[in-house]
Amino acid sequence: MKTLFTCLRRQAPYQQIFCLQIRKFIFITYLTFLTISPLLAQQENDTLVKTEILDEVLVRSIRVQANSPITHSNVNKEDLEKRNLGLDIPILLNYLPSVVSTSDAGAGVGYTYIRVRGSDASRVNVTLNGIPFNDSESQGTFWVNLPDFVSSIENLQLQRGVGSSTNGSGAFGASLNLLTDAVSKEAGGEISNSFGSFNTRRHNVKFTTGLLNDHIEIAGRLSTIASDGYIDRASSDLKSYFLQSSYVGDNTLIKAIAFGGHEVTYQSWFGLDAETLKEDRTFNPAGMYFDANGNMKFYDNEVDNYKQDHYQLHWNQRWTNFWSTNIGMNYTYGRGFFEQFREDDDFSIYGLEPIQVEGEFIEEMDLIRRRWLDNNFYVINANATYKKNNLEMTSGLFYSLYEGDHFGEIIWAQFAAGTEIRDMYYFSDASKREFTMFSKATYKINDQWQAYGDLQGRFINYQTGGVTSDIVAINVNESYSFFNPKAGLSYTLNNYNQFYLSYGRAHREPTRNDFEEGINTPEILDDFELGWRFSSERINVNTNLFYMDFKDQLVLSGELNDVGAPLRTTSGESYRMGIEVEADIRLTNQLRWMPNVALSQNKNRNFVASIDGELLNLGTTNISFSPDVVANSMIVYQPFKNFQVGWMSKFVGDQFMGNIDSATSKLDSFFINDLNIVYELKELPFFSSMLFTGLVNNIFNVKYVSNGYFFTYDDDFSTPGVITTIEGAGYYPQAGIHFLAGITLKF
Task: State which residues form the domain around 366.
Answer: 48-746
Residues 651-676 pLDDT 10s: 999 999 999 999 999 999 999 999 99
**What's the pLDDT at 716?**
63
> What does the H/E/C string look like for 437-501?
EEEEEEEECCCCEEEEEEEEEEEEEEEEEEECCCCCECCEEEEEEEEEEEEEEEEECCCCEEEEE
Local confidence band at 12 (pLDDT 50, 70, 90 cut-offs)? very low
Give the whole-angstrom CA distance, residue 180 versus residue 159: 18
Any idea what the CATH number is for the domain that residue 64 is in?
2.40.170.20
633 vs 57, higher pLDDT: 633
DSSP code per residue over 178-227: EEEPPPPSS-EEEEEEEEEGGGEEEEEEEEE---BTTTEEEEEEEEEEEE
Same domain membership, residue 125 and residue 11: no
Same domain membership, residue 42 and residue 175: no
pLDDT exceeds cutoff 90 at 565: no
Q: Rounded to the nearest 5°, which phi and psi values hold at 624?
A: -60, 150
Residues 188-227 pLDDT 10s: 999 999 999 999 999 999 999 999 999 999 999 999 999 9
Local confidence band at 53 (pLDDT 50, 70, 90 cut-offs)? low
Determine if the pTM surpasses 0.95: no
**What's the pLDDT at 32?**
35
User: Which among 13, 29, 47 is the end of a domain?
Assistant: 47
Residues 287-338 pLDDT 10s: 999 998 999 999 999 999 999 999 999 999 999 999 999 999 999 999 999 9
Residues 130-184 pLDDT 10s: 999 999 999 999 999 999 999 999 999 999 999 888 888 878 889 999 999 999 9
pLDDT exceeds cutoff 70 at 29: no
Local confidence band at 59 (pLDDT 50, 70, 90 cut-offs)? confident
Average pLDDT over residues 228-256: 96
Residues 454-501 pLDDT 10s: 999 999 999 999 999 988 999 999 999 999 999 999 999 999 999 999
How many structural domains does the chain have? 2
Same domain membership, residue 187 and residue 42: no
Q: Considering the chain, what percentage of its residues have pLDDT values greater than 90?
A: 77
What value does the mean pLDDT of the chain take? 89
Same domain membership, residue 89 and residue 215: yes
Local confidence band at 61 (pLDDT 50, 70, 90 cut-offs)? confident
Same domain membership, residue 101 and residue 33: no
Span of 104-113, 164-173, 181-190, 692-701 with lowest mean pLDDT: 164-173
Residue 452 · residue 502 · CB < 8 Å: yes
Same domain membership, residue 82 and residue 30: no
Average pLDDT over residues 362-377: 94
Residue 553 · residue 522 · CB < 8 Å: no
Local confidence band at 719 (pLDDT 50, 70, 90 cut-offs)? low
Span of 99-108, 606-615, 636-645 with lowest mean pLDDT: 606-615
Same domain membership, residue 91 and residue 107: yes
Same domain membership, residue 176 and residue 69: yes
**What's the pLDDT at 52?**
44
Same domain membership, residue 165 and residue 38: no
Residues 65-94 pLDDT 10s: 888 999 999 999 999 999 999 999 999 999
Same domain membership, residue 135 and residue 17: no
**What's the pLDDT at 589?**
94
The contacts of residue 175 (CB under 8 Å, 6+ apart) are: 62, 124, 125, 126, 127, 158, 159, 163, 164, 166
Same domain membership, residue 5 and residue 94: no
Same domain membership, residue 64 and residue 29: no
pLDDT exceeds cutoff 90 at 286: yes
Angle at 630 between CA 127 and CA 591, to 5 degrees: 90
